[in-house]
């Protein structure tokens, strides 16, 4: 693993929607809130330092959501980084409501999605959201109505690109009948690969695939396990190897590890400089 002042530059580049070029290793801002993703963080000043340090390290893709806090994450991003660097892409999400810590409920009524997009514009301090992702598909509302409202906001100039979160191939295809979809954000990591069919569809169509919960390693990281042994060989951590595996796994992969600590952030971003051999990548792939 090499050392550099902007390690995220080593993660490779991807153009979201064909026109928003970012470094592939980004930052997920969910952990910049209180316990249960609810309320203010324990250390608001550290949260601001994390965001500013991420940009210094070359991170130019930040993922957040209106429901993180709610709104706390978006407002911290504005406080830390506004006016934003020209190359910074901020993605946010709408479609999950909050009634308390660790409580998440999908609401995809068009009027609700419109309200939340308007609030995110205000909280982020922007006139147009780079990437707005439907946080969850509401089973009580036709998918065409949910995506259609985002497409209407896109035509009004309030959204640049539209993405989806936690969908299967069939939902991705149906959503594509209503609007141009440029990204999918699904649970995916070294130990959980149920979304492989969706990843394959993203690769085939040039869509960004944004894995959430990217650092889960489970039993793979146990002492003497495949991640532990390889981490010692590279003088790295199991989490860094898990991120390096994701970056190697697909050219459309945009991992967004999150943290509320500057030290942990620096460790995560350094993973972009870690190079796995073909044999090491295959060994990790086959370990699950």
Catalytic positions = 68
The strand ranges marked E within 43-128 are 61-63, 89-94, 96-97, 105-106
Q: Quick one: which of 122, 183, 203, 193 has its CA closest to 158?
A: 122
How many CA atoms are closer than 13 Å to the CA of 28, on its beta-carbon side? 19
What the block records as the tokens of 36 is 């249960």
What the block records as the tokens of 139 is 């089973």
Q: Quick one: which of 160, 44, 144, 33 has its CA closest to 91?
A: 160
What the block records as the tokens of 160 is 């640049």
Q: What residues contact residue 11 under an 8 Å CB cut-off, 6+ apart? A: 23, 24, 25, 247, 272
Q: Are 58 and 274 in contact (CB under 8 A)?
A: no
Q: Are 14 and 24 in contact (CB under 8 A)?
A: yes
């Amino acid at each position: 693993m090499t050392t550099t002042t902007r390690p995220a530059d080593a993660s490779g580049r991807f153009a979201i929607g064909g026109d928003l070029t970012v470094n592939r290793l980004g930052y997920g801002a969910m952990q910049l809130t209180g316990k249960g993703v609810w309320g203010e963080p324990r250390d608001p000043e550290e949260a601001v330092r994390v965001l500013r340090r991420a940009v210094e390290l070359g991170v130019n893709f930040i993922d957040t959501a209106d429901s993180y806090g709610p709104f706390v994450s978006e407002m911290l991003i504005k406080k830390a980084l506004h006016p934003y660097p020209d190359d910074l892409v901020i993605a946010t999400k709408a479609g999950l409501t909050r009634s308390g810590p660790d409580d998440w409920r999908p609401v995809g009524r068009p009027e609700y999605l419109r309200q939340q997009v308007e609030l995110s514009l205000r909280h982020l301090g922007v006139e147009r959201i780079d990437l707005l992702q439907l946080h969850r598909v509401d089973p009580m509302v036709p998918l065409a109505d949910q995506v259609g409202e985002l497409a209407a906001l896109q035509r009004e100039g309030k959204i640049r690109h539209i993405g989806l979160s936690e969908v299967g191939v069939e939902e991705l295809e149906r959503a594509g009948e209503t609007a141009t979809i440029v990204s999918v954000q699904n649970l995916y990591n070294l130990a959980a690969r149920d979304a492989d069919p969706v990843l394959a569809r993203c690769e085939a169509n040039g869509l960004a695939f944004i894995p959430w919960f990217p650092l889960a390693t489970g039993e793979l990281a146990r002492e003497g396990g495949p991640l532990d042994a390889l981490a010692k060989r590279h003088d790295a951590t199991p989490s860094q190897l898990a991120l390096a595996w994701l970056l190697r796994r697909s050219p459309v992969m945009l991992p967004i590890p999150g943290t509320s600590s500057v030290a942990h952030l620096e460790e995560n971003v350094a993973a972009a400089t870690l190079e796995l051999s073909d044999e090491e990548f295959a060994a990790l792939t086959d370990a699950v």
